[in-house]
Each structure stands twice: as structure tokens, then as C-alpha cells.
Chain A
Amino acid sequence: MASTTTLLTFRAGWSRVPLVGWLFGALLAVTLERLVGGPLALAVGLPKIPALFGLDIMLKKPLLIPNAILYVLLLYGLPMGIATRASIAPANRLATGLYRLPIVVTTIVYIGLLYAIFHVWAEVNDYRALVLKLTLIAIMFTLSLNVINGYMGEFSCSHPGFMALGAYCTSVFSLGLFVDTRFFGTALLPPALGPFLFPVTLVLGGILAAAGALIVAVPSFRTRGDYLAIISLAFLFIVKSLIENLEFVRGPRGLSGQPDWANLPTVFLWTIACIWSINNFVRSTIGKALNAVRDNELAASAMTVDTRRTKMVAFLFSAFWAGIAGGLFAHVLRYVNPGTFGIQSLAEVLAMVYFGGLNSVYGSIVGAVSISLLGEALRPLEIFKWIIIPLLLILVMIYRPTGLVAFKDVDVTSLFRPKTGPGEEA
């Protein structure tokens, strides 16, 4: 009992740290790592800076785990803990100032800070940058699936297929138009234009994915039930074997040599755009109609909700973002083949959705980040990681059936609010 209360009072010391305080704390920690990370790693007995908070060496060199934990505590825990605690008053003043600005400006400042943290953190090595980019893409993908499986309460299996459509569409455009390749011939447009037209080709990929979604949606939304799950699973296989058999996109060999346009800022901004628009959507009355349709479709239509339109819009919107995620994915790896978008990928994204939490923007972020990091940490186990992740998933399903952080959207104003005490002036 006594230890719990001490722990609680200990934690309460940080309860008044506003978001901006945490961001500056994290920025301090990653900057420190950038400056003294190498020597410190050597000092605590690690060969180099642990790339993913020590997760990556957990199984490769189990003996070094205590050293890695010490490193993380010294570099992240301690500076962040002290800095955030010590700067509560100025951080709250800053938060108050920011809070009074127009919401757009405030948001840009916060997003800029967040990007700075990611940027400094990822600069340490290329592996980090790659994992970070793939995690951000996983967030987009998970969130797009959560719109259907969580908010709408139907079961879609076709999202890897939408991702494949987006990936291939974008790749064909950027390889065909801007790169000299053996299979698409010489570049049609000057490569310098590429980075500027990249968003356009991404959106085209998203639109193609949405068009694919239309094919699934038209027959399956006439009635309720398991139809969507079955039809969408069929669609996934159709897309995969279609690509495998299309010589135009080099079949199972896949496309490679995509230009390096999906750098960290690009992926980051698209992820923010995805989170922002999906969060906007699910918080509007039009988007909440999805919940009404899920909880009781009959009542929804009796209360003037156009249920068919609601479901169609959500499905196409969700497929669009899956397509964008696919386009980015192809350009991050600079290689894409149909085998990537199979049942394995479906299982992975479903795990992220259900682990993180249904009907939840935060949950999708938590799910995508934790399963991605876990996947990296368990990489030495190779295929056996697919025994551990499902086991974890089963445990989550038993103890928290709707996932870790279910039913929680992002409320930007409460997120940015300074955390002053009741008597103080905000």
C-alpha cells in the first residue's frame, strides 16, 4: 500500500507537465543522444548506440540488456524526467501563450516540435530512419483499417490489396515518368520535377485504391453480415494474383528502383495529414453515423441516416489512405513485389488494429507503434515472432477485449491545453 502511494505521489509530480513540456524534454533527450550518445554507449559497455531503445539487442545479446536499460535511463529517462519536472512553470506559460494563438499556428508549432524530435532521433543511423518511416506508414495503414473494423464494425480483409494498388500505381507513375528503366523505357519528364509531382502520384494511387474499394463495396453493402469479410478476402487474392500475372508490372519479380522521394519529412507530413483527416471525419456527426450504423443500422436509418452512403464513403475514404500508405511504402523500400501484400500483411495490420484498440485513433497509433517495434525486437526469432505476437494478442483479447486504448479520438484543444492548477490563472 505504502509503495503504491509513494509511486502515485511520485507520478503526480509530472501530472502538470503540459504537452509542450514533454516535447521539449524529448527534444533535449534526443539532442543529448546525438551529442554524447556514442561515448556514453561505450561507457556503459555497449558496442554502439542501441538503435531502438535497446529492443534490437534484446535477443541478439541478452547479456547486454541491463546495459541497454541503463543507457536508456541515463539518456532518456533522467534528462526528460528532470527537465520536464523542473520546467513546469515556464512550460505552462509557453503552453498558455501558444493556446491563445490561432489553432492553426499552435498546431504547426506542435507538429514542428514533434518533427524535430523525430529528425534528430533518426539522424543517428539509417536503420532508425527506416524503422521510423515504416512505423509511420504502419500508423496510416492501421488507422485506415480501424475506420472499417473499429468505427464501422464490419470486417475488411482487403486493405493490403488497397495498399498494393496504391503502391503499384505510384511506382508505375514515378518509374515510368521520371526514371530510365529497362521495362518502362526512358524518362518522359525531367527527374527534377519528380519530387513535386510525387504527392500527385500518391493521390492517384489513393484514388485507384478507392476505385478498387468501390468494387468490393457495391456488392457487399447491400446487406449486413459477413459478406464484406468474404468478398474483401477474395478481393485481396484477386489483386495479388492479378499483379503476379501482369507482365506490364513485371509480375512476381516486382518493381524496383523507385526514386528516393519518400524521405522522413514527406512520410511524416502524410502521416499527420492522414491522422488529421481521419480524426476529423470520425469526430463529425457524419462520421459518427458509422458508429450508429455499427450499433444499430435499423435505428440509424429511422433517424434519417443514409446508411448505405455512410458505409460507402467510409470504405472508399479508408481505402484511399491505405493506397497512400502503399505508395509511400513502395518508395521507402524502393522495391515492391506482390508477395508483400498477402495474408501475412493482413494478419499484421489486423494485429495492430485489435492490439491497439478498436474505434480509436490513439489506439491505432499505439497498436502500430508497439507491434512495429515488437516486430523489430523479435526479428532474430525470424518466423517464431509470429508465435509471440499472436500470443500477446490473445492476452490482450482476454484482458481488454476491445484493445489497449479503445474508444479514444484526438481532441486537439484539450491536448494543447496548459495544465495549470485549479486556482491559477490559465
Chain B
Amino acid sequence: MPVLEVRKMSHNFGGLRAVNGYHLEIDPGQIRGLIGPNGAGKTTIFNLISGIYTPMEGEVLLNGQKVNGLPSHRIASMGISRTFQNLLLWRHMTVLDHVKMAHYSRIRYGLVGAFFGTRQRLREEEEIEERALELLEMMGIRHLADQVVLNLPYGAQRRVEMARALATEPKVLLLDEPTAGMNPEELVQIMEIIRRAHREFGLAILLIEHRLKVVMELCEKIQTLNFGEVIAEGTPEEIQNDPKVIDAYLGKESVI
């Protein structure tokens, strides 16, 4: 059974059909790519799956359970985590607090613990901190734990976001252009991190990416999107040679 299944999902913004009849099936441990020209609706699909928008038509199923219509924090705690294209970090918080915050849904000490500082709270906060530090270690940014994210270089901020997304213990991870704005060196590092996360957590990953090199190397299957519709689907080789994909990116060859 696929871990994430999307059936005939559509969404309009006013009169614009942003996503039309989108479908997707990801098996556990699979890495899928989503490519397409700017404005094709890739990020909208992420926002629809993660509950930031509620799809107007269609269904999103996580392990066979319907999740569309739930508030986004519920969807996130059920196991769909994501990163953002333009790094939505909390600028006044430390790196460690970012990763601790993503454990929010598993906190059990409640308001009594928050107001009065019970023993249970001390214990839980310690556990969360330990797990957060492990994740930071894995991302190679443990030494930055006490830094405020605002002061970090771009590559490190990307890692913080990645660690934060993994801290929710997701089953499916949606990565929205994880390599945007990175130099070749950082690119290699982030790809290694994605591979590691995939290997160690057995995650299913859906990846939006503009750099074909990254998609071709990481993904088993790729969907190409244009004007909100899937125009091609297949292995990296098939996609590379698909005339519709070439048209979407480069335009039609015109004969005068």
C-alpha cells in the first residue's frame, strides 16, 4: 500500500485552475521528483498536501487515511513534514529551539507542566533536547545549537530546516527546492543529507527541484507539471527525452 496517495486533487485560485486532477502514489522509502517550469503549481501541490490550503476536489490519503480538510498541524503530526522554498525559520529562536519545537505534538506535560514546571516536564524537555541534539549531530550543525538562526550562513539554515522537518518524525517528507541558492559544494552536501535521511529513517520523499542533476540522481520516478497538470511521468531517462517536457521548458520549435 502506498504511504501517501493523492487522488484527483484540484484547486482554484479565483478563476485560475492552479492544480487540475493531480494524482500521486508514493510507496514507503521511495523518492519521487516533481519538476516543471515556474508557476506550474508545484508549491501549491505541497501546500495542498500539507494542509495549508484545503483542496477543493479530490482526496489526500496517508496510509489509507483521509487527511485533506484537517488543519495543517494535525496533518504534520500524523506524519507529513515539509521544508519551504524560501526558508521559513523563526528568526529570534536558537537552532536547538527550532528542532525542539518540532516535537510539539508529542509533548504530554500539558499546561500544568508549562505553568508550574513539574518533574514530568523536566524529564520530557530533557528527552526532547537529547533527540534534537542527535538530529543536529546528524546534520552536522550540533556546534551551532545555541546560535540564533538569523546569524547563520545560508547552507546552515537549510540544514536547520531539514533537521526541524525530520524532528516531527515524518513518514513522508516534502522538500521544496532544497538546493535553491546553493553553491556546488553545498549542493553535494545537501544531497548527501537527503540520502542519509532517506536511508536512516526509511522516509518517502517528494522533491521539488529545478536542478535536473539533483532530480536525476536522487529520484526513482519523476512527474512533470505544467499549468497545474501532470504532462509526463516516468523514470529520469524517460522524462529527459519526452518531447512534451522539452516543450514545456523550452517552448515549441517554430517553423517560419
Task: Mark A residues whose CB is within 8 Å of B.
Answer: 277, 280-281, 284-289, 291-292, 294-296, 298-307, 313, 317, 359, 407
Task: Evaluate contact between B114 and A286: CB separation under 8 angstroms.
Answer: yes
Residues of B within 8 A of A285 (CB): 97, 100-101, 103-104, 107, 125, 128
Task: Evaluate contact between B114 and A295: CB separation under 8 angstroms.
Answer: no
Task: Evaluate contact between B88 and A301: CB separation under 8 angstroms.
Answer: no
B30 at the interface (CB under 8 A from A): no
Task: Evaluate contact between B93 and A302: CB separation under 8 angstroms.
Answer: no
Task: Evaluate contact between A288 and B97: CB separation under 8 angstroms.
Answer: yes
B224 at the interface (CB under 8 A from A): no
B10 at the interface (CB under 8 A from A): no
Q: Distance in Å from the Cβ of B178 to the closest Cβ of chain A?
A: 15
Residues of B within 8 A of A407 (CB): 92
Q: Distance in Å from the Cβ of B17 to the closest Cβ of chain A?
A: 24
Residues of B within 8 A of A299 (CB): 84, 88-90
Task: Evaluate contact between B102 and A280: CB separation under 8 angstroms.
Answer: no
A280-B115 contact given A302-B72, A304-B102, A304-B104, CB 8 Å threshold = yes
User: Which residue of chain A is the closest to B90 with respect to CB atoms?
Assistant: A295
Task: Evaluate contact between B90 and A281: CB separation under 8 angstroms.
Answer: no
Most chain B CB atoms below 10 A, which of A280, A291, A299, A302: A302
User: Which residue of chain B is the closest to A284 with respect to CB atoms?
Assistant: B114
Task: Evaluate contact between A291 and B93: CB separation under 8 angstroms.
Answer: yes
Task: Evaluate contact between B93 and A288: CB separation under 8 angstroms.
Answer: yes
Task: Evaluate contact between B82 and A302: CB separation under 8 angstroms.
Answer: yes
User: Which residue of chain A is the closest to B103 with respect to CB atoms?
Assistant: A285
Task: Evaluate contact between B76 and A286: CB separation under 8 angstroms.
Answer: no
User: Which residue of chain B is the closest to A296 with respect to CB atoms?
Assistant: B88
B156 at the interface (CB under 8 A from A): no
Q: Distance in Å from the Cβ of B157 to the closest Cβ of chain A?
A: 12
User: Which residue of chain A is the closest to B150 with respect to CB atoms?
Assistant: A295
Task: Evaluate contact between B88 and A298: CB separation under 8 angstroms.
Answer: yes
User: Which residue of chain A is the closest to B161 with respect to CB atoms?
Assistant: A299
Residues of B within 8 A of A287 (CB): 114
Q: Distance in Å from the Cβ of B254 to the closest Cβ of chain A?
A: 42
Q: Distance in Å from the Cβ of A316 to the closest Cβ of chain B?
A: 10
Residues of B within 8 A of A305 (CB): 73, 101, 104-105
Picked from B101, B115, B165, the residue with its CB within 8 Å of the CB of A317 is B115
Query: Roughly how many angstroms separate A222 CA and B84 CA in the complex, as a whole number?
Result: 23
Task: Evaluate contact between B52 and A280: CB separation under 8 angstroms.
Answer: no
Q: Distance in Å from the Cβ of A107 to the closest Cβ of chain B?
A: 11
B164 at the interface (CB under 8 A from A): yes
Residues of A within 8 A of B116 (CB): 277, 280
Task: Evaluate contact between B101 and A292: CB separation under 8 angstroms.
Answer: yes
Given contacts A285-B128, A295-B92, 15 further A-B contacts (CB under 8 A): A277-B116, A280-B115, A280-B116, A281-B115, A284-B114, A284-B121, A285-B97, A291-B92, A296-B88, A298-B52, A298-B88, A302-B50, A303-B167, A304-B103, A306-B104
B226 at the interface (CB under 8 A from A): no
Picked from B76, B84, B90, the residue with its CB within 8 Å of the CB of A304 is B76
Q: Distance in Å from the Cβ of B160 to the closest Cβ of chain A?
A: 11
Residues of A within 8 A of B89 (CB): 295-296, 299
Task: Evaluate contact between A295 and B93: CB separation under 8 angstroms.
Answer: yes
Most chain B CB atoms below 10 A, which of A277, A286, A291: A286
B8 at the interface (CB under 8 A from A): no
Task: Evaluate contact between B111 and A313: CB separation under 8 angstroms.
Answer: yes
Query: Roughly how many angstroms separate A313 CA and B111 CA in the complex, as a whole number?
Result: 9
Q: Distance in Å from the Cβ of B54 to the closest Cβ of chain A?
A: 13
Listed by A's residue number, 22 A-B pairs whose Cβ atoms lie within 8 Å are A286-B107, A286-B114, A287-B114, A288-B101, A289-B101, A291-B90, A295-B92, A296-B88, A298-B52, A299-B90, A301-B73, A302-B50, A303-B73, A303-B81, A303-B102, A303-B167, A304-B73, A304-B103, A304-B104, A304-B168, A305-B104, A407-B92
Return the CB mask of B117-135 against A: 1 if under 8 Å, else 0: 1000100010010000000
Residues of A within 8 A of B104 (CB): 285-286, 289, 303-306
B243 at the interface (CB under 8 A from A): no
Q: Distance in Å from the Cβ of B169 to the closest Cβ of chain A?
A: 10
